[in-house]
Structure 1
Amino acid sequence: MLIGVIADTHDDYKAIYKFGEVAKRMGASAVIHAGDWTSPFSMLKLRRALGPGVPVYTVFGNNDGDRFNFAKRAAEAQIEVLGEAGVVNLGGVRIGVYHGTSELLVEAMARSGLFDVVIYGHTHRVDIRRVNGALVLNPGEACGCASERPTAAVLDTDGLKIDLIDL
């Protein structure tokens, strides 16, 4: 199963649309967004790019301030909000998702043994590594606003392989 992974879009609609097109073309069965959409309307852009039928899961980021409107737009876009952190089971893989504002919590999730994969964002830096058998993945920043390299990733649940995508 292929899962599109993105974080820190920060209202970059071009990156959101491009990611949606890439995820669709690659046949992603689901998408995980690790927070910092910034505007709740960005979720509608991703849904348009993906089309209906692809489940999207997200967590709140530190820049997603208007949580009432965020929840409302998520419902309109058929995007499941997991809260501050959450768990999804996809393709037989238990995935922990957290925005990543605390490096301590990211490490604790990775070392806990509760997850096969831990996905986070926030740092705007790509991070792909193994900790205690768990795959840790930060797809970097989709917006490219800090590094000027907009990235996302595709997770293949068969063998837990990662393809980094330049947007």
Structure 2
Amino acid sequence: MKIGIISDTHTKVQMAKDALNFLIENGAEFIIHAGDIVEVEILNLLKNCGVRYIAVYGNNDAHLAQYHGKYNLVQEPHYFKLANSKFKLMHMPYYMAPDADIVVFGHTHEFESDYKNGTLFLNPGESCARNKSISECAMLEVTEPTLLVTYYTKERKEDTFKHQIFSYERIKS
């Protein structure tokens, strides 16, 4: 299963739209937003992107609580099963215990893909290109033997995404 992951979209609706469209065009079957959504328009993009999604509140999302029932918004840490894997979704990297197969987080605005003792810790970086000149997102492909992370970057003024691939052999428990 291919899972598109974005985070820290903040007020950059067009950058969020570009990342979502890119992930879906490249086969994402599910979208995860790791918080700091900020704009209701971004929630609408998620809701209408054509695939299932989940989004966690970030530290800049308290004002979105009024829309909780209209969108698939969750509080951190949120656990769920997808692709025969246990996920933990959060924005703030406070709950970094390896108590899931895959831990998705945001907040730091820095890409991270680290496989430790059977747990993948994944931060897609910032979609908003606020702290650097690139918009970032990731695709996670979950199969039984491997976890394949593709990290995408796009310069603010460019139309195309560049990528790096990280592959991890899953540890059987």
**TM-score of the pair, normalised by structure 1:** 0.84
1:58 paired with 2:58, answer no
1:163 paired with 2:150, answer yes
Q: 1:96 aligns with which of 81, 88, 97?
A: 88
Task: Report what 1:3 is aligned to.
Answer: 3
Task: Report what 1:41 is aligned to.
Answer: 41
The separation in 2 between residues aligned to 1:163 and 1:134, in whole angstroms, is: 17
Please tell me the residue identity of whatever aligns with 1:94: K
Q: Structure 1 regions of 5+ residues with no counterpart? A: none
Task: Report what 1:26 is aligned to.
Answer: 26
State the secondary structure of the residue aligned to 1:41: helix
1:149 paired with 2:134, answer yes
Shift in CA distance, 67/101, structure 1 to aligned 2, threshold 3 Å: farther
1:70 paired with 2:55, answer no
Q: How many residues align?
A: 152
The separation in 2 between residues aligned to 1:2 and 1:117, in whole angstroms, is: 14
Task: Report what 1:80 is aligned to.
Answer: 72
Which protein has the bigger strand share? 2
Which protein has the bigger helix share? 1
Ranges of 4+ aligned residues in structure 1 off by more than 3 Å: none
Q: 2:113 aligns with which of 119, 122, 128?
A: 128
The separation in 2 between residues aligned to 1:94 and 1:5, in whole angstroms, is: 16
More relative contact order, 1 or 2 (CA 8 Å, 6+ apart): 1
Q: Structure 2 regions of 5+ residues with no counterpart? A: 155-173
Q: Is the 8 A contact 2:4 2:24 kept in 1?
A: no
Task: Report what 1:115 is aligned to.
Answer: 100
Q: Is the 8 A contact 1:36 1:60 kept in 2?
A: yes
**TM-score of the pair, normalised by structure 2:** 0.81
Q: Is the 8 A contact 2:13 2:39 kept in 1?
A: no
Identity of aligned residues (%): 29
What's the CA shift for 1:46? Answer: 3.2
Shift in CA distance, 146/84, structure 1 to aligned 2, threshold 3 Å: same
Which of 1 and 2 has greater Rg? 2
